[in-house]
Chain A
Amino acid sequence: MIEFKKVIPAPIPEEMIEPSEIWNSELRLETGSLVLVSAHSGKGKSTLLHLLYGLRNDYEGEALADGESIRGKSRRDWETWRRRRVALLFQDLRLFPALSARENLELIPVANPRAPSHEEMADRLGMTSFLERPLASLSQGQRQRIALMRVLGKPFELLLLDEPFSHLDEENTRLACALVEEVTRANKAGLILTSLGETPPLPFERSLVL
């Protein structure tokens, strides 16, 4: 369970805090719930996810995970957090362009046993023929699907997706959402997905506006 107690990230201007349903408010996100966070650019969507991933510590208030403040986590704790409990799909994907698509999928510290195989995921997302290709030769949409497959291939209790379908068409978004829902459910995990306003076809339990 994630809790926010009056969290205000440092770079957010005063006028953006007031209308937000997350910043400077008391918020609880139950374990296993699917949450959509929508906002326009620059409202702090990535900041929210990065904060939960331990990449930012410059905020006021308190963020708790399972009742404990995440501010006090050590480097080793964050390492375990990222390795086994939380998976994040970055907006800029953070793939390795020198490797092939398959090598990118394989390059995770621990494999998620509840995730479908790489071949099956690639098949469902129409990426089978691109698996052996160098990542540098793939389009942005194809890369986005590879990054999604990689994040689903990691073990997680909470999945953080930062504008994951921004370069996908409607059909591919639908296929990707189905895969995300299936793997998230299989893991009995929660999901926080950010978008610029559109609502992907997923059964969100909560929808918040930043």
Chain B
Amino acid sequence: MESSKRRFLKVAGLSAAGIAAFPAIKGFTSSGEKHSDATTPKIYKNPDALMAKRWAMVIDMRKLESEEQVEPIIEACHKIHNVPHIPTKHHEIKWIWATEYKHAFPSLGHKHIGKKLNHLPFLVLCNHCEDPPCVRACPTQATFKREDGIVLMDFHRCIGCRFCMAACPYGSRSFNFQDPRTFLKETDNKFPTRMKGVVEKCNFCAERLAQGKPPACVEASDGAIVFGDLDDSNSDVCKLLESNHSIRRKEGLGTGPSVFYIL
């Protein structure tokens, strides 16, 4: 069962909808007691799923000026992913949040950067690095990079050693210091809640891509966040990057972030 769950998680474009459309997934028993035959289950992809060689995101800061603009974006993500709002700052869980330029780009900040840029709400999230240090550090492969570049977490395999948090140079990971469910006013049943003692982070909405939908933050951003395939020169992200100067967080570390910023 473990191996089929793993395969399920690793394949891009497979979703609950995908299963419904193709009931022919053999051996994928719900109880997990035994497989109908010894062969490994065959997994079909949802034909409507959004697929890419390498997913990337461009955050156009020219279109994000105020806190009021970014709040619904953050809210959209945290709501559908059952990210709790924990008042104790030490125990906060956040997948995407707004911060100042000097915090998003600590090595690029300088005194004369200008008030406007300094006060823009820069959205920061997991960078889904090309060469993710967190994946390198994880002792159980509970965090792994998928074929389309998305860095995912297996919440059921994570032992909570937090090596990935030390390894991440972007502070993108959160740890459940206590049971997060007690802080959820309402639960979205389309995405699993987590238990105490595991790490979590942004998943580039892998579950929505599999259903043919763009990430929730992109949808809520009113065009300020663009999502697409970095490998396809005709994609929206490539076109934007082609015609604008863009930066990534901590370029010098060689992690190769998939999140770009246009100032």
**Are the chains A and B members of one assembly?**
no
Residues of A within 8 A of B (CB): none
